[in-house]
Amino acid sequence: MEFDWTADQIAFREAVIGFAHKSLRDDVIARDAAGEFNRELWRRCAEFGIQGLPFPEAYGGGGNDPFTAVLALEALGSVCRDNGLLFALAAQMWSVQMPIHRFGSEDQKRRYLTRLCSGEWIGAHGMSEPEAGSDAFSLQTRAERRGDEYVLNGTKTFVSDASVADVFVVFATIDRSLGPLGITGFIVERDSPGLQVSGAIHKMGMRTSPMAELALEDCRVPVANRLGREGRGAQVFNDSMEWERGCILASAVGAMERQLADSITYARQRQQFGAPISQFQAVQHRLVDMKVRLEAARLLLYRAAWSKQHDRDPGPAAAIAKLAISEAWVQSGLHAVQVRGGYGYAVEYEAERDFRDAVGSLLYSGTSDMQRNLIARSLGL
Amino acid sequence: MTNPSPLPSVKQFILDHFLEGEDPSRLTATTPLMTGGIIDSLGLLEVVSFLEKEFHLEFEAHEVAPANFDTLAGIETLVKRKQSQRGSAS
């Protein structure tokens, strides 16, 4: 494996950092309190090319390889403090755009991938249900073929960005008795008859990426909007989940770098007992642990992205990356709070928001427990 | 032109993905894969996906059943039948 960046990748990374400094700074504290998504920041990201990073130029994408996309998202995380925005970008990229790119028809790519890459539309992913979380394939949303359309009935929950999304990738079953082989994917536009976004879900963190439920009541979806073959939705979902597991925490690695740099700055300035607290071993060890976790997380991220780029069977690399990076981010967030003492607990100093945001990473794209199950399976257990 | 037997590549796939570290000689043509707990419903998806990619076939939902997928012999029979149907159709 070769992880050296090319000169072009280094230059691109610097450009992303410059863009984030210039265009992605706003009052995240206020928007976090209000649970408010910032569409203007989304538009700026699209204009820069973030949403289109790994997708073909034919659909308005940047034509970059997955590794470069991951480097860019990491770079964003190292500057932009809006973890919810970065999560929304990554969630759309890996769980909406990627399945349309890999399994969609040419017509679907032109109708949806183009608009998602341009930022004109926002995409969200509807899989989880009230009775089907980790056990995703026990979903109950039904899809019945009637002539040239499908009629969907059911409820999707924990849908990130549902309240701001224009289009959804939704999974339903055509026949529950077939188990996973009955699951089928669909692209459902927001104004589809029978689709309603409901039940805003107020969360512990990532509040600038609003979450809600989808109610599908005789929701009519044209056959042309079926994503992939009938009964192959589980395959579509598994494929997108592998991209998510491996790549969705790229910005978290950047955030950990930012947390470490900010914590070192704080520790050098903060004086207690007549000295900067950076001179106290307890504080130093905490910062060292943050550094070690950051470097390990970065290598695991790059390995997972490299595997996807080279279309190698990643084995458990994606699950290992997701598990390790999420748990490292939470620990890093907690240490950043502790380095600041009481100030770390105060909203004004933002460390507490980073910590709250990190906790969600233990749960989305497959919980840490599910990642451990996947890794156990790869060990033949 | 006859197609080569799918058995070796299917057997290797199952050894690599579901029986890592096991003695390959223990996986025979009649070892129960699904009813024997080697492959669950998610594993079956992986096998189907592998077969479709490896042999350029498409399986219908009703074909993906224990009757066809519980043994290597059953999988071989199904794949050969599909290949033969494809050959007749072209």
Q: How many whole angstroms separate alpha carbon A160 and alpha carbon A138?
A: 20
Report pLDDT digits (tens) over B63-74.
888 889 999 999
Q: How many whole angstroms separate alpha carbon A204 and alpha carbon A321?
A: 23
pLDDT above 70 covers a percentage of chain A that reads 98
Please answer whether residues A317 and A323 qualify as being in contact, where contact means their C-beta atoms are separated by less than 8 angstroms. no
Catalytic site residue from A74, A129, A242, A244: A244
pLDDT in the model for residue B40: 85
Please answer whether residues A149 and A155 qualify as being in contact, where contact means their C-beta atoms are separated by less than 8 angstroms. no
Predicted TM-score (pTM) of the model is 0.92
User: Is the minimum CB–CB distance between B37 and chain A shorter than 8 Å?
Assistant: no
For residue A231, the chain B residues in CB contact (below 8 A) are: 61
B25 inside domain: yes
- Total domains, chain B: 1
Which A-chain residues 170-209 have CB contacts (< 8 A) with chain B?
175, 178-182
For residue B63, the chain A residues in CB contact (below 8 A) are: none
- Strand, coil or helix: what is A225? helix
pLDDT in the model for residue B42: 81
Please answer whether residues A143 and A173 qualify as being in contact, where contact means their C-beta atoms are separated by less than 8 angstroms. yes
Q: Is the pLDDT of residue B86 over 70?
A: yes
pLDDT in the model for residue B60: 84
Domains and CATH numbers, chain A: 7-122 (1.10.540.10), 124-231 (2.40.110.10), 249-378 (1.20.140.10)
Distance of residue B76 Cα from the nearest chain A Cα, in angstroms: 20
Q: What is the mean pLDDT of residues A359-366?
A: 96
A137 and B42 in contact by Cβ < 8 A? yes
B27 inside domain: yes
B79 inside domain: yes
Q: Is the pLDDT of residue A314 over 90?
A: no
B1 inside domain: no
Q: Is the pLDDT of residue A186 over 70?
A: yes
Q: Is residue A313 very low, low, confident or very high in pLDDT (cuts 50, 70, 90)?
A: low
Q: What is the mean pLDDT of residues B33-50?
A: 89
Nearest-CB residue to A235 (from B18, B45, B58): B45
User: Is the minimum CB–CB distance between A316 and chain B shorter than 8 Å?
Assistant: no
Report pLDDT digits (tens) over A200-245.
999 999 999 999 999 999 999 999 999 999 999 999 999 999 999 9
B41 and A238 in contact by Cβ < 8 A? no
User: Lowest mean pLDDT: which of A108-122, A133-147, A283-297, B34-48?
Assistant: B34-48
The pLDDT mean for chain A works out to: 95
Which range has highest mean pLDDT (A266-270, A306-310, A364-368, B22-26)? Answer: A266-270
**Cα–Cα–Cα angle for A25, A31, A33, nearest 5°?**
135
Q: What is the mean pLDDT of residues A351-379?
A: 94
- Which residue is closest to A182 within chain B, CA to CA? B61
pLDDT in the model for residue A179: 86
A379 and B58 in contact by Cβ < 8 A? no
Please answer whether residues A208 and A28 qualify as being in contact, where contact means their C-beta atoms are separated by less than 8 angstroms. yes
A137 and B49 in contact by Cβ < 8 A? no
B22 and A380 in contact by Cβ < 8 A? yes
Q: What is the mean pLDDT of residues A80-106?
A: 98
Q: What is the mean pLDDT of residues A60-74?
A: 95
> CA of A200: how far to CAs of A36, A142, A219, A314, in Å?
12, 23, 20, 36
Q: How many whole angstroms separate alpha carbon B23 and alpha carbon B85?
A: 35
Structural domain including B33 reads 7-89
B45 and A234 in contact by Cβ < 8 A? yes
B15 inside domain: yes
Q: Is residue A380 very low, low, confident or very high in pLDDT (cuts 50, 70, 90)?
A: confident
Q: What is the mean pLDDT of residues A52-80?
A: 96
Q: Is the pLDDT of residue A84 over 80?
A: yes
- Which residue is closest to A314 within chain B, CA to CA? B17
Report pLDDT digits (tens) over A333-352.
999 999 999 999 999 999 99
For residue B44, the chain A residues in CB contact (below 8 A) are: 180-181
B41 and A179 in contact by Cβ < 8 A? yes
Report pLDDT digits (tens) over A4-13.
789 999 999 9
Q: How many whole angstroms separate alpha carbon A260 and alpha carbon A219?
A: 48
B75 inside domain: yes
pLDDT in the model for residue A290: 98
**In the annotation, is A189 catalytic?**
no
ipTM: 0.75
B66 inside domain: yes
Domain with residue B21: its CATH number is: 1.10.1200.10
B2 inside domain: no
CB pairs below 8 Å between A and B: how many?
32
Q: Is the pLDDT of residue B35 over 60?
A: yes
User: Lowest mean pLDDT: which of A97-106, A351-360, B17-26?
Assistant: B17-26
pLDDT in the model for residue B88: 67
Report pLDDT digits (tens) over A110-164.
999 999 999 999 999 999 999 999 989 889 999 999 999 999 999 999 999 999 9
